[in-house]
Structure 1
């Protein structure tokens, strides 16, 4: 296959979940003899078209800031889409399939225009479907976000969702549920297994962006109730909620046993913290997939997550962790049991193997080939 991925940001020059997925799948496809191209902004030094780890990188636009006031920039997405279209259209006969990452949405629409009148199918990868979340994210401009999301969903394409929860939400605004393939996000099981535990680790760990939906405040209160002796909680990550959460932690009885570590630049350092922890707790109520759960399972943590219709945590964890109501009482109860050694019915390490990137790539490859066969 000749596969073209579309993403305004390119890993490892910009590090995030969606671009890492493209890199992990793309490098494995390339190693298996497929031709892989990524169309993105040129965050790398050197020529506009370059080769990196077997993948052809095609810089269709210069590097640009992705956020404005802590929100993804609409003008950046429009600018990238406008610059993408002529390059993709010019080279479309060199590709058997185009795979566009959602979100943002405008590059998907540009990708569709780039494939019109050709036999090259467009596949989209949906990491989340926001629906009413737009109300809190954009306020009075929320209708603009909702219309754009629905327009993208209705654009003729072959959709892939990273979880069943995301697929179900996508089916509410676009394609039928049985038309949506599910290809999960992945982890490098060997890399996690080979990582040594941190020497400055914690008994309980949270890792993620500090935003309201992660409900770290609930975790702080629940931990404070059960923090007997010298048990510790580490909060790894940064975000707009950090200042408020640190202030909240200072008011708690066991404040001295809570540490905010900030953003860890090196991925291995996060994995080392997971290996050192007994419990990984993230009561997030909005997860399109939840990669940290899979990583923590592979590191043999007892994983605790929140049961919520907008979160795929329960789907990812299954019987290899604990999924509870997002309340302080429920979280404190299971946290206390986990700290006293209670383990889930299924071994977390064994369950995590299903998310290894090698397996995920096989599933993605099959979905891409099916899309080509349908044209």
Structure 2
């Protein structure tokens, strides 16, 4: 693509001030797109100083400075609304070729539609997951409001991008039959290959935020089963969150606290990769994943992955049975058996896992996104 585009990515929280999967995706795409395009990111103002700053050639636009991003373990509802309202006057002063708005937290997508109308821009909505009926589990009766707001995004544009096949299926089943294009998440494959393994070795490793949806309790219960076969099995849990104390207490009750080490959150991503490389199997029992970048990072580190079969876990689609991992049922014995099988076969699965992960290098993902902009949006 030779033509230079002005591209705006819209979300609420921004990397590196908040380090999550969606934030990292936007950053990795942006820092590669700036080689050929003019790239802007709109989100909460999480930095000091001017509302508009430039870093690494990317222009960041801050809207509001939220007091709390989370409330009672859930994303607060009012900051996204205020953020969406602030976006409207900002978009009046800017013209973009493409406004690529992340579907969640929904309200900014409506502002992005207004911005696309003001500037005669092409609006793209990028879906990381589709909640649908899950809203009723999440907010009970108030979940109906969430369903309506989410479903309203179908009518804002004909241009929809998804990060996984699962989300594409979910949207199709919900009635979105427009142009849905898959642009998956990626990994910095070459950088991962350069990281050396840590001194701290383990048999099984988990990396993720310690919240209920990550389902780490299943792993701990499986470890009790595994311990019968491997009494000195070593488990490393990297991450922090509201469930950490609960999980630490559970490991004591199960009699496996001597086998499990909670490292907490590691500031350096290279240190996380180093710990993966010093382990043997990556366990990922998460119940809700829009994609699962960490699964590919584990594969790129040479580890087979054991995840679970659950309707909201898109990471299971990344697994080719026996090649780069296994998919378990939601049962501690089956999860334990799959981990034991992965431990036994990890050496012969290593090369396949690395080769599969190499196809998701961010450079490949950026080329796919640029092609989408060019072909589907007629640039």
Quickly name the TM-score band, shorter chain normalised.
over 0.9
| Cα distance in 2, alignment partners of residues 308 and 331 from structure 1 | 13
Please report how far the alpha carbon of residue 172 of structure 1 lies from its aligned counterpart in structure 2 after TM superposition: 2.8
Q: What corresponds to 2:151 in structure 1?
A: 150
Could you list the per-position Cα deviations for residues 297-323 of structure 1 after superposition, in whole angstroms to 9, with x for gaps in the alignment?
A: 000012111122322223222242111
| Cα distance in 1, alignment partners of residues 243 and 69 from structure 2 | 20
SS of the residue aligned with 1:347? helix
Q: What corresponds to 1:61 in structure 2?
A: 64
Could you list the per-position Cα deviations for residues 226-260 of structure 1 after superposition, in whole angstroms to 9, with x for gaps in the alignment?
A: 22142201111122322222221112243311112
Distance 1:51 1:126, change over 3 A: same
Q: What corresponds to 1:195 in structure 2?
A: 195
SS of the residue aligned with 1:98? strand
Identify which of 227, 232, 235 aligns with 2:234.
232
Q: What corresponds to 1:208 in structure 2?
A: 208
Q: Structure 2 matches for 1:157-176, cutoff 5 A?
A: 157-176=158-177
Please report how far the alpha carbon of residue 84 of structure 1 lies from its aligned counterpart in structure 2 after TM superposition: 0.6
Q: Structure 2 matches for 1:173-192, cutoff 5 A?
A: 173-176=174-177, 179-192=179-192
Q: What corresponds to 2:91 in structure 1?
A: 88
Q: What corresponds to 1:369 in structure 2?
A: 374
| Cα distance in 1, alignment partners of residues 43 and 195 from structure 2 | 31
Please report how far the alpha carbon of residue 200 of structure 1 lies from its aligned counterpart in structure 2 after TM superposition: 1.6
| Cα distance in 1, alignment partners of residues 160 and 67 from structure 2 | 28
SS of the residue aligned with 1:37? strand
Identify which of 354, 359, 370 aligns with 1:354.
359
Please report how far the alpha carbon of residue 19 of structure 1 lies from its aligned counterpart in structure 2 after TM superposition: 1.6
Q: What corresponds to 2:111 in structure 1?
A: 110
Please report how far the alpha carbon of residue 174 of structure 1 lies from its aligned counterpart in structure 2 after TM superposition: 4.5
| Cα distance in 2, alignment partners of residues 309 and 137 from structure 1 | 15
Please report how far the alpha carbon of residue 7 of structure 1 lies from its aligned counterpart in structure 2 after TM superposition: 1.9
The number of equivalent residue pairs is 370
Q: What corresponds to 2:221 in structure 1?
A: 221
Q: Structure 2 matches for 1:244-323, cutoff 5 A?
A: 244-318=246-320, 319-323=323-327
SS of the residue aligned with 2:210? coil
Task: Return the TM-score normalized by structure 1.
Answer: 0.93
Distance 1:239 1:193, change over 3 A: same
Uncovered stretches (5+) of structure 1, i.e. residues with no partner: none
Answering whether residue 330 of structure 2 is matched by residue 326 of structure 1, we say: yes
C-alpha contact (below 8 Å) 1:150/1:174 kept by paired residues: no
| Cα distance in 2, alignment partners of residues 253 and 262 from structure 1 | 20
Please report how far the alpha carbon of residue 107 of structure 1 lies from its aligned counterpart in structure 2 after TM superposition: 0.3
Please report how far the alpha carbon of residue 369 of structure 1 lies from its aligned counterpart in structure 2 after TM superposition: 2.1
Uncovered stretches (5+) of structure 2, i.e. residues with no partner: none
| Cα distance in 2, alignment partners of residues 52 and 201 from structure 1 | 36
| Cα distance in 2, alignment partners of residues 232 and 29 from structure 1 | 41
